[in-house]
Chains A and B, each alone.
Chain A
Amino acid sequence: MPLHPLSPLASALLSLTAIAGLLCVFVMLGSRWLDKYLYAFAAESWAIAALAAVIAVSRNNDPELYLIAALTALFRGLALPYLIWRMIRRLAVTRELHEILRPASGLVIGAAAVVFALAVSYRLRDSLNLGGAVVILALTVMIAIQLIGFLMLAVRQEAVTQVIGLLVLENGILVGALILIPGMPLLIELMLLFDVLIAVACFGVLVRYLTIHIGTTSTLALKRLVG
């Protein structure tokens, strides 16, 4: 069970890093520049790495969790942002061109998503008879990041943004998984990182294909297949 007693300091740090992760998603939601998305994603990954480190300390210096922290920082904090940064430079796209939803409206919907996530978490906590704010926090952050990730996938049309949106979805799961089930076998974590690397390789190829054949990386141009 995740609800072993946490020291006040650990629980404060946990909350801080998880909230920082959530805030990064709002940075993406409120911006229309691709490099801002990238920095926010990298910052979020670092926050998750810090979160993993805090949990590692609070669980008697569990070496597996330290490894997870290191891998998250390395892959999601450095390698993936670097790959995406190269992709952005090669494509010479700097911002979203066609806005389906203005950033301001996006922020409002994002806030609504967080409130909804909070309501769901309270319901779950009450039915589980669990005390403690940490569970609420983990569930809220997890569900909210998922919802906002889907919102980004839906309303942003640059191919690169969609890749980042997918990575954000998985970041959300990572936050929740770290807090709720720190005893989860390392396997999942390793595979999560590994999997994301392959995904980005795929996207790299696909984005290049898109520019060769369609002349744009806007996914709004993808409307030949209907019905």
Chain B
Amino acid sequence: MIGALLLVLAIAPALVVIFCLLLRSPRGAAALNLAGAVAVFMAAVALILLAGGGSYRFWHDYILFDAPAAWVVLCAALVYLLSAIYAIGYMPQLGEDRRLPQFYALFAGFALAILVSPLMNNAALYWIAIEATTLVSTFLVAFERAAESLEAAWKYIIVVSAGISLALFGTVLFYWGGSFALGPSYNMTWDALLRAAPGMNPSLVMFAFLLVLVGYGTKVGLAPMHTWLPDAHSESPAPISAMLSGALLNAAMLGIVRFLKIADAAPTVGLPRTALVALGALSLLVAALFIVRQQSIKRLMAYSSVEHMGVIALGFGFGGVFGVAGALYHMLNHALNKSLMFFGAGNMMRSFGSKQIKDLRRVGAHFPVPAALWLAGAVAITGAPPFGLFLSELAVLRAGFERAFGWAAALMAVLLIVIFVGFLNHFRAMYWDEPADWAATARTPLAMSLWCVVPMALALLPLLVLGLWWPQAVWRFLADIAHSLKAAAP
């Protein structure tokens, strides 16, 4: 049963790719993509209910379905579904109807690469899958073909490919380290590396882990390797921004988590954790500085992604039940919330015809309902109660103070406050400031399609529920993952 559902995860998007290329009808492609996303989402939910934290191996041990993978797949499937709904309303506004089937084919291909990467049980295959996401999404980032989109796509592929080559380097060194214990030829599964880890040389492990951390950290968007992220996220079409931010970054983070578990099992006395915590704290710092002075609405959202990846990195770095469970819960909350924020930003950007924050004024007066949803999302993303991110950030903070990373937790608290003020200040200006230039705003903004507003509500609702009530079953599920990650530690 689980094997069949996993096949659905892979086959549904693959079928969408094929039929989108065959059909060549924009509306048909959009509907197909939505159908694929629904199938994927239902499969992901069924999988997490059925598997219930167990580990399952398929296809000669190449596929591993365990609790962390199930969680990341669920986040990705959720974002894919929301983005697929949103794309139906958003994409026709770009006036590229002829190329839309291509777009949806790439979109589904991108989703496919993201969905399969957490399932890879082989460090090398995982690397390939992550690299495949880059290759597919480059074309999505460049879809609008404006000079800015092309620039963003170029920076994206160069920076990320160069960065991820370091991850391959680190993977090779891990394999080499394992070969001292397991012999020259063995199957490079996560379990095999974990078994070999206690015998690995600490300086070799440290060197290899740093390479992997920088490599996948580039893909995750941890500062100072984040430079591609604001460009790619701000220049791609809004549904793709949401996919990049809500789904892709989590999938790459899982690689760091898996390698962290291996590095922890080696005699490295906590140094890998310190490195991860340092990068997480730096990401928060960089994000805070750029959020406060940001001028473009989509770049504001992109830097907020850097911030939240920093929080997740801190959570995994702190470790412990609260750290890991908080970080995983944060993944889900961030996936929901960032989709909402990018959808809102895309709507406002299209309606007002500008990406500049200074051109978006009196948003609330023009669009009462979407504006209210977007404002609620903004309050949520800065970590204010009663939304899910408040709970998960609190759990991460608590883990930091409990586990001898007090300095990082204190820094995190201060920076979160800075970001809260800086981020909401932009929203205050957009909602309540008078426009500087009355002539420019005499023209009324364009209306929004219902398809563009509904997914915002669909994202906000669970966010509110998750903030008011952290279900016991979810907590247990996440705590079990935390224990499984910790079990290997000496």
Q: Are B188 and A185 in contact (CB under 8 A)?
A: yes
**What is the CA–CA distance of A1 and B175 in the complex, to the nearest angstrom?**
10
Task: Give the residues from 181 to 227 in chain A that come closer than 8 angstroms, CB to CB, to chain B.
Answer: 181-185, 187-188, 191, 195, 198-199, 202-203, 205-206, 209-210, 213-214, 219, 222, 224-225, 227
Task: Give the residues from 96 to 120 in chain A that come closer than 8 angstroms, CB to CB, to chain B.
Answer: 120
- Expressed in whole angstroms, the minimum distance between the Cβ of B241 and any Cβ of chain A is 14
Asked if B48 CB lies within 8 Å of chain A CBs, one says no
Of all chain A residues, which has the CB nearest B232?
A225
Asked if A124 CB lies within 8 Å of chain B CBs, one says yes
Contacts of A180 in B (CB 8 A): 172-173, 176
Q: Are B204 and A124 in contact (CB under 8 A)?
A: yes
Q: Which one of A18-26, A74-82, A170-178 is at the interface? A: A170-178
**What is the CA–CA distance of A224 and B150 in the complex, to the nearest angstrom?**
11
Q: Secondary structure of the B side of the interface? A: helix
**What is the CA–CA distance of A150 and B225 in the complex, to the nearest angstrom?**
14
Find the residue from B124, B154, B185, B290 having the highest chain A CB count within 10 A: B154
**What is the CA–CA distance of A188 and B158 in the complex, to the nearest angstrom?**
21
Contacts of B185 in A (CB 8 A): 183-185
Contact of A170 among B135, B165, B176, B235 (CB under 8 A): B165
Q: Are B162 and A127 in contact (CB under 8 A)?
A: no
Q: Mark B207-231, 1 if CB is under 8 A from A, else 0.
A: 1000000000000000000000011
Contacts of B97 in A (CB 8 A): none
Contacts of A199 in B (CB 8 A): 135, 157, 161
Find the residue from B157, B176, B201, B207 having the highest chain A CB count within 10 A: B176
Q: Are B176 and A142 in contact (CB under 8 A)?
A: no
Q: Are B169 and A176 in contact (CB under 8 A)?
A: yes
Contact of A209 among B131, B150, B176, B290 (CB under 8 A): B150
Q: Are A224 and B147 in contact (CB under 8 A)?
A: yes
Contacts of B179 in A (CB 8 A): 1-2, 181, 183
Contact of B183 among A1, A176, A198, A219 (CB under 8 A): A1
Q: Are B184 and A146 in contact (CB under 8 A)?
A: no
Asked if A123 CB lies within 8 Å of chain B CBs, one says yes
Contact of B184 among A123, A173, A183, A225 (CB under 8 A): A183
Q: Are A206 and B168 in contact (CB under 8 A)?
A: no
Asked if A128 CB lies within 8 Å of chain B CBs, one says yes
Q: Are A222 and B151 in contact (CB under 8 A)?
A: yes
Of all chain A residues, which has the CB nearest B188?
A185
Known: A1-B184, A169-B165. A225 touches B148 (CB 8 A): yes
**What is the CA–CA distance of A124 and B290 in the complex, to the nearest angstrom?**
39
Known: A173-B168, A195-B128. A2 touches B176 (CB 8 A): yes
Known: A202-B138, A206-B142. A225 touches B235 (CB 8 A): yes
Q: Mark B167-189, 1 if CB is under 8 A from A, else 0.
A: 01100110110011001111110
Q: Are A222 and B154 in contact (CB under 8 A)?
A: yes
Q: Are A206 and B180 in contact (CB under 8 A)?
A: no
Asked if A72 CB lies within 8 Å of chain B CBs, one says no
Known: A128-B201, A180-B176, A185-B188. A166 touches B165 (CB 8 A): yes
Of all chain A residues, which has the CB nearest B146?
A213
Q: Are A210 and B201 in contact (CB under 8 A)?
A: no
Of all chain B residues, which has the CB nearest A223?
B151
Contacts of B362 in A (CB 8 A): none
Q: Are A202 and B204 in contact (CB under 8 A)?
A: no
Asked if B145 CB lies within 8 Å of chain A CBs, one says yes
Asked if A153 CB lies within 8 Å of chain B CBs, one says yes
Asked if A162 CB lies within 8 Å of chain B CBs, one says yes
Q: Are A181 and B175 in contact (CB under 8 A)?
A: yes
**What is the CA–CA distance of A227 and B175 in the complex, to the nearest angstrom?**
39
Asked if A159 CB lies within 8 Å of chain B CBs, one says yes
Contacts of A210 in B (CB 8 A): 150, 154
B interface bracket (residues with beta carbon within 8 Å of A): 35 or more
- Expressed in whole angstroms, the minimum distance between the Cβ of A195 and any Cβ of chain B is 6
Contacts of A198 in B (CB 8 A): 135
Contacts of A202 in B (CB 8 A): 135, 138-139, 157
Q: Are A185 and B169 in contact (CB under 8 A)?
A: no
Q: Are A185 and B148 in contact (CB under 8 A)?
A: no
Q: Are B165 and A123 in contact (CB under 8 A)?
A: no
Contacts of B357 in A (CB 8 A): none
**What is the CA–CA distance of A210 and B55 in the complex, to the nearest angstrom?**
46
Of all chain A residues, which has the CB nearest B200?
A128
Contacts of A213 in B (CB 8 A): 145-147, 150
Of all chain B residues, which has the CB nearest A4?
B184
Asked if B351 CB lies within 8 Å of chain A CBs, one says no
Task: Give the residues from 6 to 51 in chain B that come closer than 8 angstroms, CB to CB, to chain A.
Answer: none
Known: A2-B184, A185-B188, A225-B234. A173 touches B153 (CB 8 A): no
Contacts of A219 in B (CB 8 A): 154
Contacts of B176 in A (CB 8 A): 2, 180-181
Contacts of A142 in B (CB 8 A): 169
Q: Are B184 and A182 in contact (CB under 8 A)?
A: yes
Find the residue from A149, A176, A184 having the highest chain B CB count within 10 A: A184
Asked if B93 CB lies within 8 Å of chain A CBs, one says no
Of all chain A residues, which has the CB nearest B294?
A227
Q: Are B165 and A191 in contact (CB under 8 A)?
A: no
Asked if B166 CB lies within 8 Å of chain A CBs, one says yes
Known: A210-B154, A213-B147, A225-B151. A187 touches B162 (CB 8 A): no
**What is the CA–CA distance of A24 and B396 in the complex, to the nearest angstrom?**
49
Q: Are B180 and A222 in contact (CB under 8 A)?
A: no
- Expressed in whole angstroms, the minimum distance between the Cβ of A166 and any Cβ of chain B is 5
Q: Mark A141-161, 1 if CB is under 8 A from B, else 0.
A: 010001001100100000100
What 6 new A-B contacts, CB under 8 Å, besides A2-B184, A127-B202? A1-B179, A128-B203, A166-B158, A166-B162, A173-B172, A227-B293
Can you list 25 A-B pairs with a CB-CB distance of less than 8 A? A1-B183, A2-B179, A4-B184, A124-B204, A124-B207, A127-B202, A128-B201, A149-B162, A166-B161, A166-B162, A166-B165, A169-B162, A170-B168, A180-B172, A181-B179, A181-B184, A183-B183, A187-B125, A195-B128, A199-B157, A205-B139, A213-B146, A214-B151, A225-B230, A227-B296
A interface residues (Cβ-Cβ under 8 A, vs B): 1-2, 4, 120, 123-124, 127-128, 142, 146, 149-150, 153, 159, 162, 165-166, 169-170, 172-173, 176-177, 180-185, 187-188, 191, 195, 198-199, 202-203, 205-206, 209-210, 213-214, 219, 222, 224-225, 227
8 tightest Cβ-Cβ pairs between the two chains A and B: A183-B184, A183-B185, A222-B151, A188-B124, A127-B203, A225-B231, A169-B165, A180-B176
